[in-house]
Structure 1
């Protein structure tokens, strides 16, 4: 009897479980979209621009346009494309090394020259610019954050068009994203002229610079100096003989359809000299960014190395030292020598002779001292030219070339290297007319270093027995 009761209890319990299971299945069956879950690895366009974090990630992804192969840091390295190294892993490099490149086979080239790739990232940039530039299409309330994202998208679009223009001449200017259409005519776009492309690049650079301002972004992103450098490079290309109709026509005589292609290759109106002036202003802006930073400091301290080379290129002498600046005052310390200036008087102390020479400070003095590199000495009597980027002391630098317009100066050319990351001067080269070359390397830049006023005057009491030679 007890066994039957126990058996009935189990049967009732099992029936209850079955009923519960049927009810559960019925409930799930009624929910027709139970498999329609939101993916965790992708987001809708609307979701991205409502969330500041996702919007930043979208813009960050556009930086993939600067992949390693664009910069030459692939396994082959750029040296393989010159006579510095030999790499025959691919036929493309073999074509380069043997000089067998022709119009039908161009050999190796980085992906930054690929038409399709550049337009892919132009599209991404256009999407970001459209969404961030229209308050009805995003929910980012922080205007500063929005401006910084816009500046990055504008810069990358300018960079892509700058690359396309270098390789292909005038290209279609697409500044808005396309929605999908079955009509191929929607996607047809006439190529812009060379001048129109230059104008678009400069417009994007100017807008990016205005929106970014002095904001400091995390390492690996652009800064204001990056934007100025791209603008300067674009304008110096625009001022070249290669892109002036009259100069190009006189130099290229073997193309029958050159006249028809001229608008895609060069300016057909305007003054080349005016374009050079614009390029000079843009190059000077890179240097002005350094002066602006220095002028905003109470003082600065840095170490330097000075290498003197003769006309044969061999290093004759190397000097190392340090300097402290405070406004226009400076104190330079070298082995066995000190140069002190209070903006009125210059004292040059020679330790071996225990002698100090006293001169009146002349801001127009021709000598380029380490301290003078950090002033805006270049404001007058110089022509400016941005000549590209170079690694100096392990830092990625913009290089600006200065040529004296006053032919009486003892040097023929100056190069200044400006660190892209923080707008500081890290070195320079000075070529004298006699063939000598001075190379400066600046390191250990310390802003707002302690600098008492008495550091910038010479006190004879600190140098017992010193002979004072007053040359004023």
Structure 2
């Protein structure tokens, strides 16, 4: 191989390598902006659409939900179930079964994307790179592809859609290795709302007739 061709190939390698690095850096930079924006709020209230699909299994489910977040504390309503986290325990309230399950936060899977981590889970354990950009209702949504570093993870990859103007998460798409896809789309995002002091407190007196299951 002559010297001219060798220099050309070396230049292309450096250019392509630099381009890939720049893309990785821009994904990391965007996610840092999202994280900083989330941490700037006292609390966040989100209404969202939840979709679960698996074409091979014929599963196609859609519903709406809402969650209020205050640091690690949260109150989630989804699929007819309410879940509260008060900083120590998670209370899962199922009116249909008249049952409350109480579990300690220490028993939870650390890799799970819980409501507490919904807006910050991407900080650790994933490789990050820019994906497609879309125009949705006049907004530019930039997707970042997150691939778990843990090869044993049930998740193949996650796509995080970010509004480039507000730096808010608009859509979260989780693709599992069994081809199940979970899509969470934010319909309403509000911050610094007035909250009751008991917003994340489980009041046992309201569930006197419920079966209390403590794990």
Category of TM-score, reference length = shorter chain: 0.7 to 0.9
1:366: how far off? 3.5
Q: What's 2:112 paired with?
A: 367
Count of residues paired in the alignment: 212
Report the Cα distance in structure 2 between the residues aligned to 1:356 and 1:407, rounded to whole angstroms.
Answer: 34
SS in 2 for 1:452: coil
Find runs of 4+ consecutive structure 1 residues off by over 6 angstroms: none
Residues 470 and 276 (structure 1), Cα distance of their counterparts in 2 relative to 1, 3 Å cut:
farther
Runs (5+) with no aligned partner, structure 1:
1-248, 250-256
Question: In the alignment, what sits opposite 2:173?
Answer: 429
Unaligned stretches of 5+ in structure 2? none
2:155 maps to 411
The structural deviation recorded for 1:419 is 0.4
Deviation digits for residues 124-171 of structure 1 (CA, Å, limit 9, x no counterpart): xxxxxxxxxxxxxxxxxxxxxxxxxxxxxxxxxxxxxxxxxxxxxxxx
1:352 alignment partner, one of 88, 96, 108:
96
Greater shift, 462-471 or 295-304, is seen at 462-471
Distance in 1, Cα, partners of 2:213 & 2:21? 46
Aligned to 1:321: 65
Per the alignment, do residues 392 and 331 of structure 1 end up closer, same or farther by CA in structure 2, a change over 3 Å counting? farther
1:302 is matched with: 46
Distance in structure 2 (CA, Å) of the matches to 1:443 and 1:396: 15
Q: 1:437 and 1:335 mapped to 2: Cα distance?
A: 17
The structure whose residues are more often helix, as a share, is: 1
Say whether 1:267 aligns with 2:11: no
Question: What are the superposed Cα offsets for residues 254-308 of structure 1, whole Å, 9 maximum, x if unpaired?
Answer: xxx854644664417xx95x97566434312211211111111111101011100
- Aligned-residue CA RMSD in angstroms? 2.7
Offset at 1:309?
A: 0.6
Distance 2:116 2:63 in 1: 15
Q: Which has the higher strand share?
A: 2
Q: Report the 3-state secondary structure (helix = DSSP H, G, I; strand = E; otherwise coil) of the residue aligned with 1:427.
A: strand
SS at match of 1:386: strand
Other-structure match for 2:182: 438
SS of corresponding position for 2:38: helix
> Which of 81, 93, 100 matches 1:337?
81
Relative contact order, higher structure (CA 8 A, sep 6+): 2
Distance in 1 (alpha carbons) for counterparts of 2:195 and 2:12? 55
CA contact (8 A) 2:131 2:145 kept: yes
Does the CA contact (< 8 Å) of 2:156 and 2:175 recur in 1?
Answer: yes
Distance of aligned partners of 1:435 and 1:366 in 2 relative to their CA distance in 1, 3 Å threshold: same
- TM-score of the superposed pair, with normalisation by structure 1: 0.41
Pairing 1:286–2:33 present? no
Q: Which structure has the bigger radius of gyration?
A: 1
In the alignment, does 2:135 pair up with 1:388? no
Contact 1:401–1:414 (CA under 8 A) maintained in structure 2: yes
User: Per the alignment, in what secondary structure is the counterpart of residue 415 of structure 1?
Assistant: strand
